[in-house]
């Protein structure tokens, strides 16, 4: 029994020989096939575009003409698919990013993402900064990263500000003792970042557009994991926390130079003493300030020598009896009265 392709070829040759056939009976006789074979053969010729009906007469189509028509139909179909895919992409984006969150997310809902992988942390920070449109508020307690990281960070800050975002950054006062870091602060200031300095920052924190905050899962060991917190309820609290420290900090151009503090103490020594007065151990103070433990011990020893104390406990007692030193340990924000340092 001949296959569909053989039957189709027999019908096609009969059509070409007679120039056209007007009835099924005539077609079967001309091609020498039965009714079933004739139906299958015509379907195959229709698929190939090798037949057409003109005024009720079935005619053969030249193979070259059928090929051109097939390619035209393919291109038209491909273009339609591209248009449909683009429309589907736009619809999906609107549904997932606008309407679905509006319908399902409670504005007070809190979302916390726990990130351990270092590369993923870096990608997350870069993604948040490069998409920030309104503000980026950063607090960095130290230690400072490499010069290459600082340069890359400055470039991203400049790009963010070009989009119209306002950038604020807080750093420890002890950076003024390093020409390299004080130079970096000057570059930030000249680029348009609003910079302020404070004795110490409690933790590393970045708030993006008042919508997401990045902070370490463990402030005493910030390299372990990073938290990304979203949700209006917590973001407002973190923003208030940041603004409180911002008001206590000193604007960078007006910050006093190292060694100019009252009572003959350097900025670093004053920060150490304030943290010690808060009950922190030498190791905890060193981690918070990003310095070596010996640096903390030297500052504590200087205080004990100044107060003629034989122990940290005795130094704490005498500290409250030295008005000049107590005054030296209270930061004075620009344009405002002295305020007690936070514990």
What confidence score (pLDDT) does residue 257 get?
46
Q: Which residues of 40-59 are buried (b: 16+ CB within 10 A; e: fewer)?
A: bbbebbeeebbbbeeeeebb
Stated as kind and residue range, the H or E segment containing 250 is strand 250-251
Query: Over the stretch 133-148, which tens digit does the pLDDT of each residue have?
Result: 899 999 998 788 888 8
Mean pLDDT of all residues belonging to the chain: 80
| Predicted model pTM | 0.49
Query: Over the stretch 26-56, which tens digit does the pLDDT of each residue have?
Result: 888 888 999 998 899 889 999 999 999 988 8
Q: Which of 235, 195, 232 is nearest to 215 (CA)?
A: 235
Structure tokens at 4: 């569909």
Query: Over the stretch 229-272, which tens digit does the pLDDT of each residue have?
Result: 988 878 888 899 899 889 888 888 764 444 444 445 666 667 77
What beta strand segments (E) does 49-200 contain? 51-54, 57-60, 111-115, 135-139, 166-172, 194-198
Query: Over the stretch 175-224, which tens digit does the pLDDT of each residue have?
Result: 887 778 888 888 888 889 999 988 777 888 999 999 899 999 887 787 78
**DSSP secondary structure code for residue 340 in this structure:** P
């Amino acid at each position: 029994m001949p296959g569909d392709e053989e039957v189709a070829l027999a019908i096609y040759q009969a059509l070409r020989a007679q120039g056209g056939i007007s009835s099924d009976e005539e077609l079967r006789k001309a091609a020498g096939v039965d009714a079933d074979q004739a139906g299958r053969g015509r379907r195959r010729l229709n698929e190939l575009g090798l037949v057409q009906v003109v005024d009720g007469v079935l005619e053969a189509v030249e193979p070259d003409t059928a090929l051109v028509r097939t390619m035209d139909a393919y291109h038209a179909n491909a273009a339609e698919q591209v248009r449909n895919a683009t429309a589907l992409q736009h619809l999906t984006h609107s549904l997932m990013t606008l309407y679905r969150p509006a319908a399902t997310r409670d504005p007070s809902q809190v979302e916390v993402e726990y990130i351990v992988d270092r590369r993923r942390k870096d990608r997350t920070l870069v993604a948040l900064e490069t998409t920030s449109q309104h503000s980026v508020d950063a607090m960095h307690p130290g230690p400072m990263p490499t010069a290459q990281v600082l340069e890359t960070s400055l470039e991203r800050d400049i790009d963010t500000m070009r989009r119209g975002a306002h950038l604020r950054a807080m750093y420890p006062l002890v950076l003024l003792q390093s020409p390299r870091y004080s130079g970096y602060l000057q570059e930030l200031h000249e680029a348009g970042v609003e910079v302020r300095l404070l004795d110490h920052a409690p933790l590393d924190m970045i708030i993006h557009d008042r919508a997401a905050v990045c902070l370490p899962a463990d402030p005493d060991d910030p390299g372990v994991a990073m938290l990304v917190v979203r949700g209006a309820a917590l973001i407002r609290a973190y923003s208030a926390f940041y603004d409180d420290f911002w008001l206590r900090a000193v604007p960078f151009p007006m910050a006093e130079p190292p060694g100019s503090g009252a009572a003959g103490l350097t900025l670093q020594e004053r920060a150490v003493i304030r943290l010690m007065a808060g009950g922190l151990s030498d190791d905890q103070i060193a981690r918070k300030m990003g310095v070596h433990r010996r640096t903390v011990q030297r500052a504590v020893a200087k205080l004990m020598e100044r107060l003629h104390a034989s122990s940290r406990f005795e130094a704490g007692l005498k500290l409250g009896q030295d008005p000049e030193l107590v005054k030296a340990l209270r930061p004075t924000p620009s344009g405002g009265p002295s305020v007690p340092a936070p514990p």
